[in-house]
Amino acid sequence: DAKTTQPTSMDCAEGRAANLPCNHSTISGNEYVYWYRQIHSQGPQYIIHGLKNNETNEMASLIITEDRKSSTLILPHATLRDTAVYYCIVSSTGTASKLTFGTGTRLQVTL
Amino acid sequence: GAVVSQHPSRVICKSGTSVKIECRSLDFQATTMFWYRQFPKQSLMLMATSNEGSKATYEQGVEKDKFLINHASLTLSTLTVTSAHPEDSSFYICSALVQETQYFGPGTRLLVL
């Protein structure tokens, strides 16, 4: 699986958009970009994933650059409950869909 | 999203005993489940891939005789930590694969005294 690079930590004011970047310059053509988050002492929560098109769901938007070497997770209106470690992971799908977790970005949402 | 449960949520056991952790998919069937371990202030590390009706595939460095995995049905996988020692104390998390996505359980915190 391709490696990803994320900032160690970020701060965001409550109510503002949180934009979390991720670099994955060695991503392969059949690998998806997945985003998960982990709130302290809980299992990871799936947020969103995509291959090359931008994706949006009720939680977030995922913007993938045209060359697929980087992406940005956008939480449109961050709340205190969004404080967590956010993991960007690239992985192929199917039975080979192992997820390799890096260190992620610790997002702190503040008042 | 799909719901995955784990039981127990936390367990304390004496050194040398065995502990079984259950992972259940509540509203779907999962042919493939995964077991991860997370030590304090570290990221999740994949231990093994569990496939229903077949032997689990273990990651390098994970002892298959110590961490027994059984995936006997499409909704249940179990991880048994045999002869547990204090260094096995950790946060154990399972996930279930639904189409392209893994959904995680809430985790089981194991403390071995």
More confident residue, A1 or B96: B96
CB-closest option in A42, A46, A99 to B1: A46
Chain A residues with beta carbon closer than 8 angstroms to that of B6:
43
Q: What pLDDT score does A75 carry?
A: 98
More confident residue, A98 or A34: A34
CA distance B44 to chain A (A): 6
More confident residue, A39 or B99: A39
Mean per-residue pLDDT of chain A: 93
Q: What pLDDT score does B54 carry?
A: 87
CA distance B70 to A78: 40
Q: Which residues of chain B have pLDDT under 70?
A: none
A-chain residue closest to B9, CA distance: A42
Chain A residues with beta carbon closer than 8 angstroms to that of B102:
46, 97, 99
Model pLDDT for residues A53-107, shown as the tens digit of each residue = 999 999 999 999 999 999 999 999 999 999 999 999 999 865 457 899 999 999 9
Q: What percent of chain A has pLDDT over 70?
A: 95
Contact B81, B90 (CB under 8 A): no
From the list A29, A79, A73, the residue with the least C-alpha distance to A51 is A29
Query: Residue A45 above 90 pLDDT?
Result: yes
Q: What is the DSSP letter of A90?
A: E
Q: What pLDDT score does A69 carry?
A: 96
Instruction: Kindly state whether A34 is in contact with chain B, defined as any CB-CB distance less than 8 angstroms.
Output: yes
Contact B78, B23 (CB under 8 A): yes
CA distance A26 to A100: 14
Query: Residue A2 above 70 pLDDT?
Result: no
Contact B102, B25 (CB under 8 A): no
